[in-house]
Structure 1
Amino acid sequence: MDIGISTAIFYPDETTEDAIRLVSSKGFRSGEIFANSFSEFTEEYGHMLAEVTRSNDFKVTSIHTVSSAFEPYLFDRYERRRDDFFKIFKDFVRFGNILGAKVYTFHGLVSNHGNKIQMKDIIYVYEKMIDAAGEQGISIGQENVSWCLSGDTEYLKRLKDGVRGPLKFTLDIKQAVKAGRSPYEYLDIYGTDLVNLHLNDNDSEHTCLLPGKGTFDYKELKERLGRAGYKGPGIIEVYRDNYDNVEDLARSRRLLAGLL
């Protein structure tokens, strides 16, 4: 498995372009780009960042962003607001296309969204997103997120069963732990539609640690992913307080490369 990294891991210390230069110098050849602000997914910024990735031999596999700032509004009951935020969504997948990304890691509605939108309308929005992202060569990789509706396995099942078109998924280990579930409960739902994997570690006291610092069984993960036929990347995604320096990240990549 190709072990990559998310630039989100450096927030708020490094800009995205500097993060790419830094991880590339430590052996990372791929990863997920996290846009920390709207200005970081304009076309102009995208072309600049694409040049940085090329010059540093870094492949962008997926994109991610400050989802709570606009994703819930894609499902808003007020049509004009919904349409305005869909324009932002289209800008983001266009940005992903410029970088050559194939997956948009998507959170969606938060659990306490206070929006009485019906499931049929949620499904309609997903189908609209899938079509727009598909025009840019990008899949929607719905992530399991503990504080979103996507943390609920029953919701994910309804989503998968109801959405017409190629809805794909991102598995995040720490978010499963935060939801009080095994990551394999989500993997069983995703099956062959898994396209992205967020790697982290945990133990009895911590829900998120740098891979190699906890007790998570990566041998079992490899076996389960093999059964699901997963051939995609593994993306190290932890928080800034889960490591001391970039050398820690490089060691974690080497460890995971040997395990997965």
Structure 2
Amino acid sequence: MEIGISTAIFYPELLTEDAVKKLADKGFRVLEIFANSFFEFSEDYGHELKALAQKENVRINSVHTVSSAFEPYLFDAYERRREDFFRIFQDFVRFGEILGAKAYTFHGLIRKPHRNMSFSEVVYIYERMVYEAGVRGMALAQENVSWCLSGDLEYLKRLKDAVKEPLKFTLDVKQAVKAGKSPYDYLDIYGEDLMNLHLNDHDAVSTCLLPGKGNFDFGKLFHKVESLGYKGPGIIEVYKENYESLAELIESRKYLERIIP
């Protein structure tokens, strides 16, 4: 397993392209790109970022974006609004295709759908998204997020069972902790459909720390995901307030690399 990192760790201090340069300079070779604005997932910007990634010798494994700004509207009760935001979704997966990303980290619904939206309609929308991402060579990787419906284990299981297209998943350790669940509860649902892995640590006081700063057993996690056949990278994803220096990011990467089976 390669250890990578998300450009989200610099939000809001650095522009995404500057984050790529800085992380490449510090030896990170696999990234998750967090597009922080609609401008940042335009085709033109995608091509600029791809050229930069090639120059800096980094690989972009996955993409993420300003989820709460448009993802919930993909499930809006008003059909025309849904279609508006589906076109935005199409723009985003095109952006991911340009970068060569394999997974789109997806939050989805923040709360229960409008009473005019049935679960079967929600499933149909997921199937449209999975198909559209697949056309672009990507997987829709539903993330467990504590403040979204995807933090609920029963909802995720129901969704996985219902979506006919190959829905994939992102495990985020901190989001499991924030939801009061074990990361392994989510892995039991994801199984071989785990597509992306967000790594962070925690202790009795903080739900999000750099790997190596808390008491989470990463060795156990790595053995578990390996048993599921996971071949992707581990992406360090924390918040800007969870570290003070770039040296800490490098130290965290090296800590994880020593644990990899």
TM value normalised by structure 1: 0.98
Matching residue's letter, 1:251: E
* Structure 1 residue 154 corresponds to structure 2 residue 154: yes
- What residue number does 2:9 align with? 9
* Structure 1 residue 242 corresponds to structure 2 residue 242: yes
Matching residue's letter, 2:152: D
- Partners of 2:211 and 2:255 in 1: CA distance: 8
- What residue number does 2:178 align with? 178
* Structure 1 residue 202 corresponds to structure 2 residue 202: yes
- Partners of 1:86 and 1:35 in 2: CA distance: 17
- What residue number does 1:252 align with? 252
* Structure 1 residue 168 corresponds to structure 2 residue 168: yes
For residues 138-174 of structure 1, the C-alpha deviation after alignment (integer angstroms, 9 at most, x for no partner) is 1000000000000000000000000011100000000
- What residue number does 2:119 align with? 119
| 1:38 shift after superposition | 0.2
For residues 190-209 of structure 1, the C-alpha deviation after alignment (integer angstroms, 9 at most, x for no partner) is 00000100000000111000
* Structure 1 residue 233 corresponds to structure 2 residue 233: yes
Matches within 5 A, 1:68-107: 68-107=68-107
| 1:130 shift after superposition | 0.7
For residues 67-93 of structure 1, the C-alpha deviation after alignment (integer angstroms, 9 at most, x for no partner) is 000000000110110000000000000
3-state DSSP class of the match of 2:196? strand
Change (3 A) 1:139 1:179: same
- Partners of 2:15 and 2:235 in 1: CA distance: 19
RMSD, aligned α-carbons: 1.0
3-state DSSP class of the match of 2:210? coil
- What residue number does 2:24 align with? 24
- Partners of 1:4 and 1:223 in 2: CA distance: 18
- Partners of 2:50 and 2:115 in 1: CA distance: 37
- What residue number does 2:128 align with? 128
| 1:227 shift after superposition | 1.8
- What residue number does 1:64 align with? 64
3-state DSSP class of the match of 1:198? strand
- What residue number does 1:223 align with? 223
3-state DSSP class of the match of 2:195? strand
User: After TM superposition, where is structure 1 displaced by more than 4 Å over at least 4 residues in a row?
Assistant: 112-116
- Partners of 1:193 and 1:62 in 2: CA distance: 15
- Partners of 1:116 and 1:237 in 2: CA distance: 36
Matching residue's letter, 2:4: G
CA contact (8 A) 2:75 2:113 kept: no
CA contact (8 A) 1:76 1:115 kept: no
* Structure 1 residue 41 corresponds to structure 2 residue 41: yes
- Partners of 1:79 and 1:165 in 2: CA distance: 22
Matching residue's letter, 2:22: L
TM value normalised by structure 2: 0.98
CA contact (8 A) 2:33 2:63 kept: yes
| 1:117 shift after superposition | 2.0
- Partners of 2:112 and 2:240 in 1: CA distance: 26
Structure 1, unaligned stretches of length 5 or more? Answer: none
- Partners of 2:45 and 2:4 in 1: CA distance: 22
Structure 2, unaligned stretches of length 5 or more? Answer: none
CA contact (8 A) 1:29 1:59 kept: yes
Matching residue's letter, 2:257: A
| 1:114 shift after superposition | 5.2
| 1:226 shift after superposition | 2.0
- Partners of 2:112 and 2:121 in 1: CA distance: 17
State percent identity of aligned pairs.
62
| 1:17 shift after superposition | 0.5
Change (3 A) 1:115 1:199: farther
